[in-house]
Structure 1
């Protein structure tokens, strides 16, 4: 086999394309399903990377994680490159995901309060070691029509571009939005920058006829509403 035909192992990839390094550098939510499964698998073979093997498995399930979760150790072990140990790892990981989903309350569809907003967004901001900024998009009846990741920062803050906020809202036909970001430190006290950007976005929202109802600061199961607490 020539060097042009020989498939590269995962260690020979550019670092940015390797799933473990990508998770460390960009965060777990930036990985594809195949890349996440590749981390579980750990390694491919001489002729196939772990990601390619994962893509092959997903393809057999029409890229449907629910169908993948229905496969047992015996079915997964039929794929070349998947032994019993790797199959068990995949099954265990998917089962944990299912149990976490079952343990969560049903998704709130209508936002009548800051508590409703927190219930809807908290899972997206849970267990993060860095700050992320998210949007809840609502229609005129305050029904949730989407959740969108906006930006990622460090442990002390994240940059928010107002143009991006309203671009997302306009593209999805949102009548109003709720802002949310997490504080990895556990402190829910808003910074001066938090209050300032919220007031700015509220004013811009009035001009664009897209109401900014609230801004939540989240730490797992706890949160603070800038609107409820009178900061804005």
Structure 2
């Protein structure tokens, strides 16, 4: 009996120890100052990291928006630039010989108003002789002229052997519509007659300005009228 009682007391004491141990594990324990500071630092670091991630995310979104706006501006400029520049050309076959027709072009200050009075009012030579590189002339068009009434032209290139001349418009009404306008004319022998080639390169002042198709047609009509005049002369 004594042994049985002793075993029961031992078992009871062991259970009390187990309960105390379990209670010790479940109950909060005191935290040291060092552990507290470490935990506080970890929380601050976590907050700082979260803030950095948020800032970086916002910065990334703003960068993408800015980049998109820049791309749109660049694309619009490219499209705008392409739409304002252009070239037009025309070829006119004439019955007059190349030498004879070329000479009429070189004497345009006198020939054009005389032969094409419905197109030209007069041509004034302002600088040079009117038919060499650097010469400047003011062309005043007649009522039948399309778009413009005056244009100051400067001869930029001249090749007598190839019967080729290039001139730029540097002032006058045309500059209201075109920032730049350069025309090249060439007379090529073709059998007993000639082939007159005319090409213009231009930059429009705005997108609303039409391509100079009327000026191209004006030039073609001019060449035909000169040819008719030369054949009768």
Larger Rg: 2
TM-score w.r.t. the length of structure 1 is 0.25
State the TM-score, normalized to the length of structure 2: 0.25
Normalized per residue, the structure richer in helix is 2
With a CA cutoff of 8 Å and minimum separation of 6, indicate the structure with the bigger relative contact order. Answer: 2
**Structure with greater strand percent:** 2
